[in-house]
Amino acid sequence: MRGLGTIRIRLLTEDAPATVHTFVTLAERGDFNGRTLHRVVSSFVLQGGSPGADEYDPATSSFMRDEIGGSHRRGTFGISTRGRDTGDGQMFINLVDNVRLDNDYTVFAETISGLDVIDRIQEGNVIESITIQRASAGAGRSGARR
Model pLDDT for residues 62-85, shown as the tens digit of each residue? 667 878 888 999 999 998 877 776
pLDDT on residue 54: 46
**Per-residue confidence at 135, pLDDT binned at 50, 70, 90?**
confident
Per-residue pLDDT tens over the stretch 10-64:
999 999 999 999 889 889 999 899 999 989 999 999 998 766 544 454 555 566 7
pLDDT on residue 67: 86
**Per-residue confidence at 126, pLDDT binned at 50, 70, 90?**
very high
> Do the domain assignments include residue 139?
no
Q: Roughly how many angstroms between the first and final C-alpha of the chain, as a whole number?
A: 6
> Do the domain assignments include residue 43?
yes
Kindly state the average pLDDT of the residues 139-144.
50
Q: Is residue 98's pLDDT more than 70?
A: yes
Structurally, how many domains does the chain consist of? 1
Asked whether 8 and 111 are in contact (CB, 8 A), the reply is: yes
Looking at residue 54, which CATH number applies to its domain? 2.40.100.10
**Per-residue confidence at 141, pLDDT binned at 50, 70, 90?**
very low
Round to whole Å and give the CA distance between 109 and 9: 6
> Do the domain assignments include residue 1?
no
Range of the domain at 39: 8-131
> Do the domain assignments include residue 137?
no
Q: Phi-psi bin for 30: left (phi > 0), alpha (psi -120 to 50), beta?
A: left
Kindly state the average pLDDT of the residues 114-128.
96
Between vectors from CA 28 to CA 84 and to CA 31, what angle results, nearest 5°?
60
